[in-house]
Amino acid sequence: MPTSDDVIRDTPCGLLRGRRQEGVTAFLRVPYAAPPTGERRFAPPAPAWAGERDAARPGPIPPQLTSRLSRVMGDPPVPQDEDCLHLDIWVPDGADPSQPAPVLAFIHGGAFMTGGGSLPMYRGHELARRTGLVVVNISYRLGILGFLPIPGLAPANLGLQDQIAALRWIHSGIAGLGGDPGAVTLAGQSAGGYTIATLMACPATQGLFQRAVVMSAPLGLSLPTADDSAALCAALFRTLDLPSGDPGALRQLPVEALLQAQGRLAREWASTLANVSPPFVPVADGEWIRGEPLDALLDGTASPCPAIFGYTREEMAAFYAGDARLAEAADLIVQDRFGQRHGSRAEVELALARARRSPGDALAVLGDLGTRELFASPAIAAGRARQARGHDTYLYRFDWQSPLPGYGACHCIDLPFLFGNLDDWRESPMVNTADRAETTGLSHVFQDLIAAFARTGRPAGPALPPWPACDHDALLSFDRLLTLGQLPADPTAH
């Protein structure tokens, strides 16, 4: 029976019954496509439901194993289900069809194998309440189910196709909930940021979003070739002891069997120490993705929309901290990598790298190298190239560091500050012992800048710190004290 806190809104797909609490109405587990289950496992997203739907209860996350970053972010117990193609939407009071609010649509990270828009740490209530934005979280298929082309069964980039279907739902349906379909900012972190870069170069997304916030995207990674995907697919059939000539057998397997096989393949893929590249990623298929996303950002074929690119100062610490095997082998690995990159100058360059960092141990230097090559240098290069073409682009580096020794300003450290829901991060080791007044204050500044950008395409306002675009060679550092830094003349030396 409806209560006074129930809110019913009409959308092109039918009536949604949400729940209002503390100035925000949540519409949860809103399907944007039909369940990809049964015969629809490995099928492209299809139109969703029609009719009235209860949208007051949280939905599941896509099927997955434990995240490799659970020791950093925590590992909240959340139900999983293949029926995961849904949106979680938070609408602030004051946003209605007569006064639509800007929309921030978030794509989660997780190496294309873990995560979900329904995870409590991504709850958008506080972000919507403080900023007045309509916040939308997108869940999509992961791992084998979303990012492994299987001849005769699964087309390439199903997870990416899911995200595009979600953006189409937002474009057609968000106005009925009080959001402005003409003011959609697409934000994403890590794998989510990487897919935003691919979506910026995808013709199918034209008109579906107007601004982009790309957080800690590993744009230094290269897309796999067709041969890479074929080899991974063959390895999957071997692991499952299935004949490769019967791809339909994968549709009949319990999802648990697919996950266990996925875990074995991921471990084999990452058998080299310090390798953090995931095995299941988007593929340049010529249709949805025509080439490397970084190339599109550099050569001007990506969307000219205003964009923010950001990274954290010590991205790799999230992957390396606490890894005893890697710490033991770090000296040899870092010597080998510097030798490959600098040849006869390797010893001098390594000494300089150690001198620039405290502590200057091999693991920290190795982390700096990975941060620079995978995250920082590509972001800076993309920002400069876009700005040179007149495409407003802003850069940030998150320097606030975890109180936990060894984690520094690691990968994912900016997420709690974006969502501002610090209570939902109480199980996350990287932030759970931090001073609450300090984290709350920095969160408000970060949120307000992102909200200003979502409204106008510029992260600026009378009560906000200055953040010039890339044509000023400026990079905004988020820390206890916000400062403007100068971009390096050579991004590869950053």
Give the C-alpha separation, 332 to 466, whole Å.
Answer: 43
Q: Is 392 helix (H, G, I), strand (E, B) or coil?
A: coil
Q: Is the dihedral of CA 432, 433, 434, 437 positive or negative?
A: positive
Active-site hit among 411, 428, 443, 494? 411
Instruction: Kindly state the helix (H) or strand (E) to which residue 484 belongs, with its residue range.
Output: strand 483-486
For tokens 């991004």, name the residue: 491
Whose CA is closest to 32, among 207, 202, 192, 173?
173
127 conformational bin, left if phi > 0, alpha if psi -120 to 50, beta if neither: alpha
Give the C-alpha separation, 78 to 182, whole Å.
Answer: 33
CB 317 within 8 Å of CB 408? yes
Residue 430: DSSP 8-state: T
Q: Is 190 a catalytic residue?
A: yes
Cβ atoms within 10 Å, residue 343: 9
The C-alpha angle with vertex 345 and arms to 343 and 351, in degrees rounded to 5, equals 125
For tokens 């009235």, name the residue: 52
Q: Is 229 a catalytic residue?
A: no
Q: Within its chain, how far is the Cα of 110 from the centroid?
A: 7
Amino acid 251 reads R
- Compute the CA torsion angle 124, 126, 127, 132 (nearest 10 deg): 110
Q: Is 472 a catalytic residue?
A: no
Give the C-alpha separation, 410 to 66, whole Å.
Answer: 19
Q: Is 3 helix (H, G, I), strand (E, B) or coil?
A: coil
Q: Name the E strands within 389-436.
A: 393-398
Give the C-alpha separation, 49 to 229, whole Å.
Answer: 33
For tokens 């020794």, name the residue: 405
Active-site hit among 139, 190, 303, 428? 190
Q: Could you write out the DSSP letters of every residue in 21-52?
A: ETTEEEEEEEESS----GGGTTSPP-----S-
Active-site hit among 292, 314, 315, 373? 315
Q: Which residues are catalytic?
A: 190, 315, 411
